[in-house]
Structure 1
Amino acid sequence: MELPEPPECPVCLQPYDGDSTTPRVLACGHSACQTCLKLLPQPFPHTIRCPACTQLVKYPHPQGPSALPKNIDLLRLASLLQCPDHQNPQNPPKPIEKQSIPIHFIPNLWSHEFYLAWKDWVVPEDALVVEFSAEDGLCSVFCGRIVGSSLDSWGLSVRCSMKGNEKVSLVRVGGSLCENDSKFNYSYVAKVLWVLYGMTDRQLGLILKASCSKQSQICKVYGLWCNPDDQGVYIVCERYAGSFLEKFGDWRNGFVGENESNGLLDTTNFAMIGMEICESVSALHSEGLFSGCLAVRSFNFDDFGHVHIDLNEALVMSSRVWKMITKAILGAKKRKELEVSLRNDASETLEFVSPELLFELLQKNAIDIECGSKFEVGYGSDVWSLACVLLWLLIGEPFTELMGNYLHCFVPIPSDGKGSDYAGLYMNWMEKVRTSLETKLVSEFVPLQEILCGCLEFDPGSRPDVIDVWKCIRELIIKPKFDIMVSLARAIEKNTGHCLFLGELSQLRKETNKILEKQLVNDLQEKDDSNRGDVDQVGEVMVDKDLVEGLSGGHVKCIDLKGHLDCISGLTVGGGFLFSSSFDKTVHVWSLQDFTHLHTFRGHEHKITAIVFTDEEQPLCISGDSGGGIYIWGITDPFGQEPIKKLFEQKDWRYTGIHALAISGTGYLYTGSGDKSIKAWSLQDYSLSCTMNGHKSVVSTLAVCNGVLYSGSWDGTVRLWCLSDHSPLTVLGEDTPGNVTSVLSLAAYGDALVVAHENGCMKIWRNDVLLKSKQAHNGAIFSVGMEGKWLFTGGWDKVVNVQELLGDEFGIDATSLGSIACDSVITSLLYWQGKLFVGRADRVIKVYFYGL
């Protein structure tokens, strides 16, 4: 009777034993072993895709899979099936070989889907020229200009219709990956995407979508840019020169007053500007966004005189209000001090906070206010702030004084100790606003006066829509019966949008608030500098502390292996050993457990140029030298002093030497030679089986993958050969226009082929199609290492570039994750089980690995 197979993990196919392979139950009901769950990619924060049903499920963070429950039933079944009483003595079970699970060089930072969605929003590093400007800079006091020459290769140039030397504004949204004391330097794109991936809400995506709308009166957002000086990541936004305060700063008495030239009311100017303001706010609402708090600074004039909402300024203003309220509450011990602080800040910044939003801020500062709890922040909050902006344009400075009285209504420290009558105080303030309007305005403004007072209702649900305010202002210059051009805006459902003010980008991180509290406690008398350069970071992203320390705190470590007397020419692993060859004519054997030196193979009379390991019939290390000698070393315990076999190529007086070696897995050894040929040697009797010709110069590199032998040559081409009969399949690069550049190294994995050239160019092929060509190094690329999605290249410029190959059936893209700076030329690379071995020209082998 055949026994059922024990339950096994769907990823590594190993049976559950409760020790090395422990089943953990996911939220969908399926199980996988704890080891595999740690290695599964996370397409979104705190989620993984179930390997059984492919459903996205929650992943415990930061505890990891150990926080998931064990599948006791599977463990019990596995133990029963492995019990000796249930074993068939005639057919004992065969030991199951452990399947190798790809180990990441560094942990996954983001998913492929995330990269595809956001890669085009990364502003190139050299696309901005940043100048310090205390006069017109935003929170970061930076003034940026788009460099025209950098836009040619920028994918956003068409979508954003940018011009060279265009002014932009920058607002910091987070800090990039810190690299103090780290061997690994993250790439520019990785720094930006890491900040994006750490964001938890949809605010930035909605902002980018809104800025791209053709009908939206919102300043364009070009993307995100990382400043190389402070490693901060910034939103890059279009910046117009015509700010409201610059244009109307001298209009102390508002628009509606006697004109000095003719004594007439300036009704037309107010109506035109007021309509534009309403249209820009309505456009923001139509994109599912609302500011929550508008300020005079939030609006700018474009080159055609139209009003736009500056999203960067809105974010800076939101952060400034957060900071203002926090400082006022923490720094004022009495009601009068808090009132004066809030009033002074409001009078200088002209930022208008609606009652429900102010209640929200006070509650977030641990001040419980029941009066505003029933009102939610929504589109109506923008209506309230919009009315305040229009009233400031109408009345001028007297309205700023009224705003100080407004804040007096909501000071959370009562004078009598019994609580404040918020509703009563607010009604008194409304009466003062009405009286001021009646004194200032004439009869033709009565409808506008009523609708503006309606916008200031305490209950957001009682306030009119933005379109109603727009219509009322329009009637000042066009009477209703003649207004045939008006088009009604589509209705917007209230309280369904996303609030910029309460979003992640606008709020100070908790650590910043703690620092702020400490500063205020130590020095309550310190004067608050409320200018626009005061806030130096907005919406710093909260990330897992352990992960950041692991990625950036020097946890990509390095070990030096020394012993060779000349340049390292090759690296290979097998049988638990690392084998290194050198121009010093020796092969060194190192332990992969503790990297100690175990043995040295000597015997070559020329420089060793290539090395491979095979374990087909017996474990062998094979090395080839520049004189055409092929030495086969037996891997036994103890190691022998002499090779078990020596092979020699037939010498040619013009060309000589072995330049590359490869093992087929079918009993053949392949050599790439200086005589332009590839030779196949039988590993059974060590005879020469066949010679493959076709290259026009030295065969410099070989690779075997999926039944295909790849050969690269100094003639600039790569030839493909069938392993079964050694027949030619195709030639890559033969039709490539331009100068011929030698192929120095190549690597194949799956259906991807990476070819490195002498001029620093790297090309990625799939079958016979060139998918990508990029300048990867400043100089020759001497070595390429690839396993799974990890791609490593190194060469003359003394830098190891680490890239991630991501793609689907339509294409492959190489994403640069970072680099490792070296002190010498890189001559050979090998990636094995999460460790990167780097052979250098200075005779040192560097071993890089991620871990504690």
Structure 2
Amino acid sequence: MMEEPPECPVCLQSYNTESTLPRVLSCGHTACEECLTNIPKKFPDTIRCPACTVLVKFPPQGPSALPKNIDLLRLFPSISNPTPRNSKKPSFEFVARSWSDEFYAAWKNRILPFDAVSVERESADFAPSSRLCGCLKSDDDDLKVSLLRVGSFQRDEGCDSVFELSYVLRMISCLWEMEEEERDELDMIMCLEERGVSRVLGLWGDLKSGSLYLVGEKLKDFFWEEFEDISGDNASCLAVMGMQLCEALLSLHKEGVSTGCLSVSCVKFDEFGNAFVDLIELIETGRNVYGLISEETCGKPVGALEMGLILKRLVKNGVLMSVEVLFELLKKQDLLTTQASSECLVLYSSDVWPVCLLLLVLLGGKRFSEELTESVSGVEAKVCEGKIEDLLLLYTDFMDKLSSILESKLSGKFKSMVEILRQCCCIDPQARPVLTDLWKCNRELVMNHRLSSTFPLNKKKPGKRKDFCLVLGELCRLVVVGSKELEELESGGVAEEGNLDKDFFGKLSEGKIKYKDLRGHQDSVTGLAVGDGFLFSSSLDKNIHIWSLKDFSHVHTFKGHQDKVMALIYIKGAESVCVSGDGGGGIFVWSTSFPLEEQPIRKWYEPKDWRYSGIHALAYSEDGYVYSGSGDNTIKAWSLQDGRLVCTMTGHKSVVSTLVVLNGVLYSGSWDGTVRLWSLSDHSFLTVLGEETQGIVKSILSLAADDGTLVAAYQNGDIQIWRDDTSMKSMQIQSSAILSVALNGKWLFTGGWDKTVNVQELSGDEISLECTHVGSIPGCSVVTSLLYWEGKLFAGFADKTIKVYYSGR
């Protein structure tokens, strides 16, 4: 059977001697002349092979100067398929996590910086309170804010992990550990941007207390003294306030949200005197209701007597709640002595009752509020058999008392409001007037009723979220105010109720990062390598230690260097070896086969001159060459087999501090702040990276590469990331010099003078790259070397120790 003719890997057209003439690149792969002409060239005189993606030399005359593949035109040989660069490798997670990238993206921008808020506890009538006040730092003036605790995370001193998860991810993990209903409520509240409703600014975590807070705008409180007299201008002001409260609740109704209850503390004012409904205070009021009911009932079923006590406490504390919401609340807590019926459905009309009572309290003044409390105290509990009708009768007696106060207190100018306010207090939700009617009634006290309002009294928008009542939601149930559990939480204990003290690290399958110390060196550790089941470590003490990867016990020591060992690599092959370079120019090759010997199997020395300061870096290519980066600003290629110097590569203007090999290219980093690229096939210079910041010299101290990604670490704490030699991101990771960087897939590790190992996670595509700070591991000494292997992080320190960090067992 005739084989298919060979095709160009770019245009997929069969080769011929005319339109698709095959030309051979220096890497050995072939493409047609036309495609090679049209391939983009990011650097002068270089091209990336379309088959193996290696960066190779390209003649300035064009592809016509490349040799033709004559054999390919005559025959149909099998064209070797290069190993795909993106072939899957075993994936090892350093920090296990449960949430998805979509979850992280949805919540990360809602988290305020950890230093953005300063906290001051706010005194409240209900004590203790889960609400604080503070200041949000801004460029202009500090903004007063209210803080409502919605979650909790493990504090640093309470966790046995040496790994400190980053602030943002600690907040993300706290959100992930919440129940889905709680997150949905938070999402809904943070999306509300309605007229007359206070702003919610974001989420903030207090690292000292381990609490996650919802941060809201703090407005001016209501003061009774300003409304002692309800005649004249104050009457109009209160009517305007009633209109604005109705408008605020109507705005919430359009989004499918009802409040369920109100209190005087929920009414706030901006700098222009406009009334607002404070969402933070509203949720706090709901929490107070749960705490009050818990204290009065002690978890026992509610009868008429208990209902009277609950009503008294609610009114005394200024909490105004419609009957059906209270019944639904008791039903959710399994406290009703009867089966709840459909009569207790919570509708939007459930908000008319608390608004009506709130207006009565505001119109009647502080004395009216006291009389309202006295009226509840005077209601005698009926002897009942647990029927819901008896409980409704108790509420009816309360409303009769309220009506009598209404008739006696409100007369004259407010006479027109009496009837509609009485209807608003009807027990049957469907018989109550709507909020728009109450709004119009207030407007008539302010202006001629023929004047139209500029406020659109629209109904609920179609396609919005499902109907939701704040006081019946999970956020109000999250903290039982006044309970023993809350007091324990304030003192740093563990609360059993709610989801506040879920240990993030305990919830992740292998999230706890532990460590093991390896001690044996007598001076600073300079290099790490893994191979043949061993960990190899070099040091300024001139020795190389070998450790077992099974139990991390010390196995052997290579001795022979006369100068400090500066670089170390492992080379796997028919005869696997370890290669080390020292400050005196010596390059030693050690056998890693048993029995291990103390002396090298071969060694050679680099020629010295007055500029020479030793070997700083080593790398290896599969062609059998060892590359050394030196203090004389050069890179040298050596034959591994006999130590013969093959060539010297020049171009750097300062010490060559680091070398890596990736996809057929040798990358060299230098103190001159640039990365130079060299062809492995002929050791010719390809191009240079890092020249875009001319005039600003930042010495490169370490390079790391994996799967097309190159990371350079600088002496000022910056890193720069390239993908396929295209600069993707430059950012500061640490405050001082980064001495070592390790890269494995998405995990990026950096360490240096700040004595901390920082962990970053890389994500994104060929267009954009995200570098997310995952966390850090604090140390007691300068981090001098890093190596990541199969889920374990090896770190060498200036205090002579090596630490192995791992998760799980």
How does the TM-score come out when normalised to structure 2?
0.80
- The change in CA–CA distance for 1:778 and 1:194 in structure 2 (over 3 A counts) is same
Query: How far off is 1:626 after superposition?
Result: 1.1
Per mean C-alpha deviation after superposition, the further-off stretch among 395-404 and 311-320 is 395-404
Query: How far off is 1:304 after superposition?
Result: 1.2
Q: Which amino acid aligns with 1:786?
A: L
Query: How far off is 1:266 after superposition?
Result: 4.8
- The change in CA–CA distance for 1:504 and 1:407 in structure 2 (over 3 A counts) is farther
- The change in CA–CA distance for 1:778 and 1:551 in structure 2 (over 3 A counts) is farther
Which of 246, 252, 265 is matched with 1:284 structurally? 252
Mapping of 1:737-748 within 5 angstroms?
Answer: 739-748=696-705
Query: How far off is 1:633 after superposition?
Result: 1.2
Q: Helix, strand or coil for the counterpart of 2:476?
A: coil
Query: How far off is 1:341 after superposition?
Result: 4.6
Q: Helix, strand or coil for the counterpart of 1:696?
A: coil
Which of 207, 232, 244 is matched with 2:189 structurally? 207
Partner residue, 2:129: 139
Query: How far off is 1:546 after superposition?
Result: 7.5
Query: How far off is 1:582 after superposition?
Result: 0.8
Per mean C-alpha deviation after superposition, the further-off stretch among 783-792 and 544-553 is 544-553
Q: Helix, strand or coil for the counterpart of 2:561?
A: coil
CA contact (8 A) 1:612 1:662 kept: yes
CA contact (8 A) 2:785 2:796 kept: yes
State the alpha-carbon separation in 1 of the partners of residues 307 and 597 from structure 2.
Answer: 88
Residue 243 of structure 1 pairs with residue 207 of structure 2 = no
Q: Helix, strand or coil for the counterpart of 1:422?
A: helix
Query: How far off is 1:511 after superposition?
Result: 12
Partner residue, 2:721: 764
Partner residue, 1:713: 670
State the alpha-carbon separation in 2 of the partners of residues 414 and 708 from structure 1.
Answer: 91
Residue 170 of structure 1 pairs with residue 147 of structure 2 = yes
State the alpha-carbon separation in 2 of the partners of residues 712 and 495 from structure 1.
Answer: 55
State the alpha-carbon separation in 2 of the partners of residues 544 and 484 from structure 1.
Answer: 49
Residue 357 of structure 1 pairs with residue 334 of structure 2 = no
State the alpha-carbon separation in 2 of the partners of residues 437 and 327 from structure 1.
Answer: 31
Query: How far off is 1:811 after superposition?
Result: 1.9
State the alpha-carbon separation in 2 of the partners of residues 170 and 112 from structure 1.
Answer: 28
Which of 311, 316, 319 is matched with 2:279 structurally? 311
CA contact (8 A) 2:239 2:442 kept: yes
State the alpha-carbon separation in 2 of the partners of residues 203 and 702 from structure 1.
Answer: 52
Query: How far off is 1:296 after superposition?
Result: 1.4
State the alpha-carbon separation in 2 of the partners of residues 787 and 217 from structure 1.
Answer: 51
Q: Helix, strand or coil for the counterpart of 2:91?
A: coil
Q: Helix, strand or coil for the counterpart of 2:593?
A: coil
Query: How far off is 1:392 after superposition?
Result: 1.3
CA contact (8 A) 1:570 1:839 kept: yes
Query: How far off is 1:644 after superposition?
Result: 2.2
Partner residue, 1:94: none
State the alpha-carbon separation in 2 of the partners of residues 724 and 126 from structure 1.
Answer: 52
State the alpha-carbon separation in 1 of the partners of residues 95 and 456 from structure 2.
Answer: 56
State the alpha-carbon separation in 2 of the partners of residues 283 and 232 from structure 1.
Answer: 31
Write out per-residue CA displacement over residues 652-679 of structure 1, whole angstroms, 9 at most, x where no aligned residue: 3212311111233443322211121222
Query: How far off is 1:514 after superposition?
Result: 7.8
Residue 730 of structure 1 pairs with residue 687 of structure 2 = yes
Q: Helix, strand or coil for the counterpart of 1:272?
A: helix
State the alpha-carbon separation in 2 of the partners of residues 439 and 547 from structure 1.
Answer: 59
Partner residue, 1:499: 469
State the alpha-carbon separation in 2 of the partners of residues 178 and 781 from structure 1.
Answer: 28
CA contact (8 A) 2:703 2:712 kept: yes
Query: How far off is 1:484 after superposition?
Result: 6.5
Partner residue, 2:73: none
CA contact (8 A) 1:173 1:537 kept: no
Partner residue, 1:222: 201
Mapping of 1:548-563 within 5 angstroms?
Answer: 548-549=505-506, 555-563=512-520
- The change in CA–CA distance for 1:401 and 1:128 in structure 2 (over 3 A counts) is same
Which of 110, 129, 148 is matched with 1:121 structurally? 110
State the alpha-carbon separation in 2 of the partners of residues 617 and 635 from structure 1.
Answer: 11
Q: Identity over the aligned pairs, expressed in percent?
A: 45
State the alpha-carbon separation in 2 of the partners of residues 707 and 535 from structure 1.
Answer: 56
State the alpha-carbon separation in 1 of the partners of residues 705 and 380 from structure 2.
Answer: 68
Q: Which amino acid aligns with 2:356?
A: A
- The change in CA–CA distance for 1:265 and 1:789 in structure 2 (over 3 A counts) is closer
Per mean C-alpha deviation after superposition, the further-off stretch among 748-757 and 229-238 is 748-757
State the alpha-carbon separation in 2 of the partners of residues 190 and 786 from structure 1.
Answer: 20
Which of 771, 774, 782 is matched with 1:814 structurally? 771
Query: How far off is 1:699 after superposition?
Result: 0.8
Mapping of 1:599-614 within 5 angstroms?
Answer: 599-614=556-571
Which of 425, 450, 454 is matched with 2:423 structurally? 454
CA contact (8 A) 1:172 1:538 kept: no
Mapping of 1:79-118 within 5 angstroms?
Answer: 101-118=90-107
Partner residue, 1:189: 168
Query: How far off is 1:332 after superposition?
Result: 8.6
State the alpha-carbon separation in 2 of the partners of residues 267 and 848 from structure 1.
Answer: 70
State the alpha-carbon separation in 2 of the partners of residues 715 and 231 from structure 1.
Answer: 45
Per mean C-alpha deviation after superposition, the further-off stretch among 638-647 and 541-550 is 541-550
CA contact (8 A) 1:409 1:426 kept: no
Which of 388, 391, 394 is matched with 1:422 structurally? 391
- The change in CA–CA distance for 1:620 and 1:405 in structure 2 (over 3 A counts) is farther
Per mean C-alpha deviation after superposition, the further-off stretch among 387-396 and 272-281 is 387-396
Per mean C-alpha deviation after superposition, the further-off stretch among 708-717 and 459-468 is 459-468
Query: How far off is 1:782 after superposition?
Result: 0.8
CA contact (8 A) 1:793 1:829 kept: yes
Write out per-residue CA displacement over residues 614-651 of structure 1, whole angstroms, 9 at most, x where no aligned residue: 11343111111111111111111111233222132222
Query: How far off is 1:752 after superposition?
Result: 2.9
Write out per-residue CA displacement over residues 172-207 of structure 1, whole angstroms, 9 at most, x where no aligned residue: 111123332331122222222222222323111122
- The change in CA–CA distance for 1:733 and 1:139 in structure 2 (over 3 A counts) is farther
Q: Which amino acid aligns with 1:582?
A: S
Write out per-residue CA displacement over residues 90-131 of structure 1, whole angstroms, 9 at most, x where no aligned residue: xxxxxxxx9853121121153222222222222112222333
Q: Which amino acid aligns with 2:272?
A: F
- The change in CA–CA distance for 1:565 and 1:536 in structure 2 (over 3 A counts) is closer
Which of 326, 332, 335 is matched with 1:367 structurally? 335
Mapping of 1:510-521 within 5 angstroms?
Answer: 515=485
CA contact (8 A) 2:96 2:510 kept: no
Partner residue, 2:410: 441
Q: Which amino acid aligns with 1:171?
A: L
CA contact (8 A) 1:175 1:195 kept: yes
- The change in CA–CA distance for 1:716 and 1:271 in structure 2 (over 3 A counts) is same
State the alpha-carbon separation in 1 of the partners of residues 754 and 677 from structure 2.
Answer: 30
State the alpha-carbon separation in 2 of the partners of residues 221 and 804 from structure 1.
Answer: 30
Q: Considering only aligned residues, what root-mean-square deviation do their CA atoms show, in Å?
A: 3.6
Write out per-residue CA displacement over residues 495-532 of structure 1, whole angstroms, 9 at most, x where no aligned residue: 9333322333221359996848999xxxxxxxxxxxxx
CA contact (8 A) 2:308 2:376 kept: no
State the alpha-carbon separation in 1 of the partners of residues 722 and 667 from structure 2.
Answer: 12
Query: How far off is 1:310 after superposition?
Result: 1.6
Q: How many residues align?
A: 714
- The change in CA–CA distance for 1:282 and 1:729 in structure 2 (over 3 A counts) is farther
- The change in CA–CA distance for 1:644 and 1:765 in structure 2 (over 3 A counts) is same
State the alpha-carbon separation in 2 of the partners of residues 416 and 648 from structure 1.
Answer: 101
State the alpha-carbon separation in 1 of the partners of residues 379 and 743 from structure 2.
Answer: 67
State the alpha-carbon separation in 2 of the partners of residues 646 and 688 from structure 1.
Answer: 12
Partner residue, 1:528: none
Partner residue, 1:268: 236
Q: Which amino acid aligns with 1:221?
A: V
Write out per-residue CA displacement over residues 335-375 of structure 1, whole angstroms, 9 at most, x where no aligned residue: 68745653453244211122222122212332233245543
- The change in CA–CA distance for 1:333 and 1:471 in structure 2 (over 3 A counts) is closer
State the alpha-carbon separation in 2 of the partners of residues 468 and 580 from structure 1.
Answer: 81
